[in-house]
Amino acid sequence: MPSFLKNHPFAVQAFFKRSWVLTFAAPRKELAGLVPECLELDIFKNHWAFLAVALVQTSGLRPKGFPKVLGTDFFLIGYRLFVTYATRSGKRLRGLYILRSQTDKKRMTFLGNLFTHYHYTTTDIEQYGGGLRSHRSGLTVEILQSTGEVPLPQGSPFADWKEARRFAGPLPFTFTYNAHNREVLIIEGVRENWKPAPIGIKACQFPYIEDLNIRGLQLANAFSIENIPYEWKKGRVELWRQ
């Protein structure tokens, strides 16, 4: 297939029924080797960098303007880093760099790898009232059920939830990099009424992250949103120069 197809050749829309985002903090040197040369880690207090896991129940993913009946319903697990990119015009954009994506639908794995660089694989995902798990991937997430004020995770580098919200995701942009051609692909997301609510995490396990052997990694925050329309603009490519 032509390689340009992977560069988000058309706008896409979807509906997020529910999204949990768990953000982990680590010393910046521990995550530095995971980003390409064109990007920089988004740093907090000159020390912390962040890796997030998004767990999203998605409905009606389709090219923008297509009828919903042609869309794909699936569950997405996305592993991404918080980064910044300096454009050729001098603007500094905050965004995400995707490390890996998992889904429960083979159709989505095929389409995701056809039209993106997000490294989709298929796995089993079992959802229940207080969390989700994957037997094949060894993944588990348990949400702490509470009606009171939710405390920040123990050891979080943030002073309060307002400070933590800056690293809740998703950010306005997502980036990929073609090192051979030194091209940066920039995908802009569009959302409305994005009001993340803090959630407590009783337990979580992500074997993919564990295999990265990141020292000093700790849960920094967790947020939830529900019933949000979302879309991504057509990707644009920019030549990167040091």
Q: Report whether pLDDT(4) > 90.
A: no
pLDDT at 194: 84
How many domains does the chain fold into? 1
- Is the preceding omega at residue 153 within 30 degrees of 0, hence cis? no
Q: State the average pLDDT over residues 41-45.
A: 97
pLDDT range class, residue 1, cuts 50, 70, 90: low
Confidence of residue 57 (pLDDT cuts 50, 70, 90): very high
pLDDT of residue 145: 81
Instruction: Determine the longest span between alpha carbons in the chain, in angstroms.
Output: 53
Domain that holds residue 23: 3-239
Residue 150 has what DSSP assignment?
Answer: P
Tens-place pLDDT, residues 152-198: 999 999 999 999 999 987 788 999 999 999 999 999 999 888 889 99
Residues 6 or more apart in contact with residue 40 via CB below 8 angstroms: 83, 84, 85, 86
Exposed/middle/buried for 85, CB within 10 Å: 0-12, 13-18, 19+?
buried
Range ranked top by mean pLDDT from 2-6, 169-173, 228-232:
228-232
* Nearest Cα to Cα of residue 49 among 177, 224, 218, 206: 218
Place of tokens 């890796």: 51
Q: What is the 3-state secondary structure (H, E, C) of 49-70?
A: EEEEEEEEEEEEEEECCCCHHH
- Residue 2 binned pLDDT confidence (cut-offs 50, 70, 90): low
**Mean pLDDT along residues 24-34:** 98
Report the Cα 168 to chain-centroid distance in Å.
10
Is omega for the bond preceding 198 within 30 degrees of 0, making it cis? no
Whole-number pLDDT of residue 98: 97
CA distance linking residue 66 with residue 55, whole number of Å:
25
Burial status of residue 2 (CB atoms within 10 A of its CB: 0-12, 13-18, 19 or more): exposed
Q: What is the pLDDT of residue 38?
A: 96
pLDDT digits (tens, 9 = 90+) for 70-85: 999 999 999 999 999 9
Average pLDDT over residues 40-57: 97
Which segments of 116-221 does DSSP mark as H helices, in order? 161-164, 207-210
Query: What does pLDDT average to over the chain?
Result: 93
pLDDT tens track for 91-139: 999 999 999 999 999 999 999 999 999 999 999 999 988 899 999 999 9
- pLDDT at position 107, please? 94
Q: What CATH number has the domain bearing residue 62?
A: 2.40.400.10
